[in-house]
Structure 1
Amino acid sequence: MDIKGITALITGASRGIGRAIAWELARNGARRLLLVARDRQKLAELAAELTAMDVEVVTLALDLRKPAEVNMAIVRAWRSYGPIDLLINCAGVAHQTPFLQSKLPDVQEELSLNLMGLYTVTRAVARRMATQKRGTIVNVSSVMGKIAAPTMSTYSATKFAILGFTQALRGELADHNIRVMALLPTLTDTDMTRGLKLFRWVVPMTPEQVAQELLLGLRKDSAEIVVGWQSHLAILCSRIAPGLLDKVLKMASPLSGKSDKSPAWRRAGGF
């Protein structure tokens, strides 16, 4: 995919990986960025920073858990700014806790944003992409969409689901000339995760590194963009030595040793 001159919509754009992706697209010649997040102030700050770049920036302060508002915003944006060439679903939330201590409201929040929010935006945009017979959709999953780990059961479940959703859409939308891809980052050093030692031996990547890998994958039209050597190694190990991987995950988990009470944490496109 050629980035120059495109219009891209990015959810979860106010921080973390979503913010880094906005910058990377701007640097590589995107013509217009539609930035979506709940935090109106952070969106405005990012838009102000991007004014030095040769890119038009439109901010959409939206709660993706409200389908009616999302659908209306997409309709207005399409009419006002023209077709969307690239959709990047980066918004997400994660709660880390041992399963037996998990709370239903936290699980419902993960499901409503990570899955239903992604579904709502994708449906609104994909239907219009199908009419114009072109477009690219990137769904941000996680390495935990391939390998579930202790204390991250429900978050991992949503990320596994995103991969299944992506694979199904890839087949369904191909006849409409719409490419559907998945981005699988490893632990990423964002403002929401910085200072937390969630899993032993994992070296965080930067949001900028993840964004750069995304652009490489877009240029290659990769179906899945797995970010970081640790992710590649873990996925390979899960295929050839799943028992060994289970033991490593148990040793690395915050549940082992003294770390039996892990803090809840949240992020927008980070892990």
Structure 2
Amino acid sequence: MTGASRGIGRAIALKFAQQGAKRLLLVARTHHRLMDIAAEVEAMGTEAVILPLDLTQPIEVHSAIVKALRHYGPVHILVNCAGVAYQTSFLQSRLLQVQDEIATNLVGMYTITRLVARRMVAQREGTIVNVSSLMGKIAAPTMTTYSATKFAIVGFTQALRSELAAHNVKVVALLPSLTETDMVENLQWFRGIVPTTPEAVAKALVVGLQKGATEILVGWQSHLAVWCNRFAPWLVERVVHLAAPLPQR
């Protein structure tokens, strides 16, 4: 599980431990945060293996994941939760921040998924969960490149689902709306949006997996927004424009 040290990733790790997972491989950048979540997971009776990795460093990731797979055996579920977000008007955006979003949200996901998916195909069993966002269905002003990466994750998930279906490997998209995590603390929230909690997202994931869902939306606002966008995209675009926290430039 990537992005396991905080926010949604941390909540999912705790939920899996609560559900009786025997072992969790926890991936994130910050070692001391991984130690904290590992202690909580182990207190529930689940073995925790910490892998302090920067997903933007593919050689480092490849080496560590291959060693972990060789030592600990097959992975039955991969949760790609690591992500970064920057908020600014597009005309004031900076290339370095855009590159960071793409490197973490997309390339990092690709790197670890490719390694794990090959093993899942060989064992003819597994589930891959890619954490996108409601912004992967409805783009948000002031979050242009973040929205772009989340749209890309939805497309990646749909294509990979089709490719791996014959190998009995399931590929699922998780699409939370605004969630109260430290990643959004410094963001200006869209007006009228009621935030959800990481725990609610983790619960929705578990329920969705049990139902065999391929796309898991979180919260009534997400379901309403996606439904409206299907039948009246012009209206949703107008509402999003009015709710945007910064003036358009």
Does the alignment reach a TM-score above 0.5?
yes
- Matched with 2:178 is 187
Mean Cα displacement is larger for which, 63-72 or 109-118? 63-72
- Once the two structures are superposed, the pairs formed by residues 125-144 of structure 1 within 5 Å of their partners are 125-144=116-135
Aligned mates of 1:232, 1:180 — CA distance in 2: 20
2:35–2:50 contact (8 Å) kept in structure 1: yes
- Once the two structures are superposed, the pairs formed by residues 88-237 of structure 1 within 5 Å of their partners are 88-194=79-185, 196-237=187-228
How far does the alpha carbon of each residue in 1:97-150 deviate from its partner, in whole angstroms, 9 at most, with x for none?
Answer: 101111100100011110000000000000111111110000000000000011
Of residues 26, 34, 58, the one that matches 2:17 is 26
1:242 is displaced (CA, Å) by 1.4
Aligned mates of 2:173, 2:157 — CA distance in 1: 7
1:74 is displaced (CA, Å) by 1.4
Aligned mates of 2:42, 2:81 — CA distance in 1: 22
Aligned mates of 1:144, 1:61 — CA distance in 2: 28
- Matched with 2:49 is 58
Q: Which amino acid aligns with 1:217?
A: G
- The alpha-carbon distance between structure 1 residues 196 and 161, as it changes in their structure 2 partners (threshold 3 A), is closer
TM-score normalised to structure 1 length: 0.89
3-state SS of 1:46 partner: helix
Q: Which amino acid aligns with 1:14?
A: S
Q: Which amino acid aligns with 2:168?
A: N
Aligned mates of 1:231, 1:177 — CA distance in 2: 29
1:191 is displaced (CA, Å) by 2.4
Q: Which amino acid aligns with 1:221?
A: G
1:194 is displaced (CA, Å) by 3.9
- Matched with 1:84 is 75
- Matched with 2:230 is 239
3-state SS of 2:49 partner: strand
1:50 is displaced (CA, Å) by 2.0
3-state SS of 1:11 partner: coil
- Once the two structures are superposed, the pairs formed by residues 64-79 of structure 1 within 5 Å of their partners are 64-79=55-70
- The alpha-carbon distance between structure 1 residues 12 and 212, as it changes in their structure 2 partners (threshold 3 A), is same
Q: What is the CA RMSD across the aligned residues, in angstroms?
A: 1.3
1:250 aligns with 2:247: no
Aligned mates of 2:220, 2:185 — CA distance in 1: 20
Q: What runs of 5+ residues in structure 2 fail to find an aligned partner? A: none
Aligned mates of 1:118, 1:32 — CA distance in 2: 21
Aligned mates of 1:53, 1:193 — CA distance in 2: 29
1:196 is displaced (CA, Å) by 4.8
1:69 is displaced (CA, Å) by 1.2
Deviating 4+ runs (over 6 angstroms): none
Higher helix share: 2
Greater length-normalized contact order (CA 8 Å, ≥ 6 residues apart): 1
Query: How many percent of aligned residue pairs carry the same amino acid?
Result: 63
- The alpha-carbon distance between structure 1 residues 161 and 229, as it changes in their structure 2 partners (threshold 3 A), is same
Q: Which amino acid aligns with 2:61?
A: V
TM-score normalised to structure 2 length: 0.97
3-state SS of 2:183 partner: coil
1:179 is displaced (CA, Å) by 0.3
Aligned mates of 2:203, 2:13 — CA distance in 1: 11
3-state SS of 1:122 partner: helix
Aligned mates of 1:192, 1:70 — CA distance in 2: 23
